[in-house]
Chains A and B, each alone.
Chain A
Amino acid sequence: MQTWDMDLEELKEEETNLPGTKLKTELLTVNMGPQHPATHGVLRVEIKTDSEIVAQAIPHIGYLHRCMEKHCEAIDYRGVIPFVDRLDYLAAMSQELTYSMAVEKMLGTEVPRRALVIRTIVSELQRIASHLMAFGTYALDLGAFSPFLYAFDEREKILTFFEEISGARLLYNYFWIGGVWNDITDRQLGYIDNFLNGFEKELVKYDKLVSSNRIFQERTMGVGTLSLADAHSFGATGPVLRGSGQAWDLRKVDPYLIYDELDFDIPIGEGQRGSELGDCYNRYIVRMLEMVESVKMIRQSMKLLEPGPVIGKVSKVIKVPKGETYTRTECPRGELGIHLVSMGDKTPYRLKVKSPCFTHTSILPHIAPGQMIADFVASIGSIDIVLGEVDR
């Protein structure tokens, strides 16, 4: 296959000056998005194509920019939580967790034990919901419609539980500074237990339906390969980095909540089923294996649940002492960091969000050259970006 590593200008010159012909060929610029279903939001990718092959892809971001970081400087600490929800709207609980942990760290608040366990259960359920969405839409991108419906069926059960505990289906405002809003009842714990039993069977079904499907494997194996060195230099985290073969997970490396008491593995891409290390299939399979680990974690944490209060002592008007902090957690899409600077006021002085999706978007121009356009769609789906978090 022809390689496209050469400079684009050089390529143009070579193409236009074919000896013995008067016909000129040049690269065609195609805009993919911002309203393209395969870009998972409002991402516009400017693709320079030579027939079906992508020579260059430039992502243009900013269509969902809502000035969230600047806006947070004008509202009080409790009011920021609905805004961090809207960063990654598919995993809102994980964003709330990071923010509330950052404020608690600066305030020195002690979070009750029961709240910590509930937070662990809920954020792992959120990870399953988010990965189900990634799985469903990825299969949809590659032309399989029914896995999308099956994934939504299971995700719906998690959202029903979240709706019961928080009152909202997508943007929860459930993790408060100092704990969680509502307690979990025994009936709801039974509901989760039922769900997990059924979900393990569903995972086997997904494996048969999609992961071991030969057509799916041909579409994803060897496509969009990201070597470990490249993953390091792009600052990739989460399933993208683990798909390239490094076992880096903040839940193990830098444990927060009660993760140090839980027994779980870090699934990494190992070139499963004859795939190439770091390709789309590895990133996909890491997500599927992570769901199995999450089920294990939820089962263990449900045993650790003891009665007690769910919210610690926080003053009515939150005034964070002067200083700054950087808190990071392992979100479903990678490492989310929040850099919070306070001047001792009622509002944050600066709230910088380090978003994994923004980092992963920068990988696209690197893996795109030389791919077919249909494979490029597979590459976008495999890094699983949410544009609300890219643009903020």
Chain B
Amino acid sequence: MNFYLTYFFIAIGLFGFSALFALFGVYAERKLSAFIQDRLGPTETGTFGSLQTIADILKMLQKELIIPTAADKLLFMMAPAVIFIAVYLGFAVLPWGPGLAPAKLNLGLYYLFAVLSIETLGILMAGWGSNNKYSILGAMRSAAQIVSYEIPAGFAIISVVMISQTLNLQTIATQQGILSSEKVTFAGFWDVSNIGGIFSWNVFRAPHLLVAFVIYFIASLAESNRAPFDVPEAESELVAGFHTEYTGLRFALVFLAEYSMMFMVSMIGAVLFLGAWNTPLPNMGVVELAAWTTGAGWGIFWIALKTLSLVGIQMWIRWTLPRFRVDQLMNFCWKVLTPAAFACVLVSGLWRIFLM
């Protein structure tokens, strides 16, 4: 019975974590955007405005839940839950440290890929359920974008899987550090199995994965509907896209899903390319930095640091780049990213045959 209780505790803990992260993320985003635009951002509520998002969520919880008369009520009410649960399901397989993964699925990566595609359905559900032109246009744009950008993202992921030869995220993580049971080489020639650190990360084990990482990162921006790929909610054209009609708690759920999605795609990127929970510090002779900074607690610290830096870059990009036009978006996906991702897969194959 204890066995099942642990599952429940971990699930509730992850939910609490994603809620906390959304609160912290919104605050960070507002402060960061203020810094980029030479403003101050929230300053009044709490020290440096730190209680601002808590005040926001309290306000949001009290708001009336409005259902438009013409809406398909069932779909309208269920959509935010479907969107959030799709993202939340993904957290089940992400590894947090050596031996610390909620579920050690041997198909973890493939499962993540499947679960992320459910979100599209939730967005379409919200768009259709709202019975509003802006909502449905936003939902269709979002679905078209997610479906298209899944292809370069998928191929970038496949090029990693070809190098690591497994779909188990925990195994992929272990391979990129001193705990690896197989030989790890830096760029295919320098044996770094006992040195570890930044040299054994996937992007340096096979340098073409650096290209794959950039492709994955761009595609992940599109999949989480972030600027410069935010045509689904382009304020100047579509009011707010698929969540135009949502108020109160339901709107909060949509927002929670967006921030959880940001965190999750960043964490997948960190796990696949940037050494997961492995330390960036290498062993240097007697100064065994890598051995000292590897462990369950350190693992959580490193993965959180890497993921939050990627989230920070996402925010930085959002507030500095203008929005893509729809045709530019599709051209970029099909004519630049997809061929480049195919090339990465090809190089991965050759790398596997000749250099590993």
Q: Do A and B bind each other?
A: no
Query: Residues on A close to B: CB < 8 A?
Result: none
B residues at A contact (CB < 8 Å): none
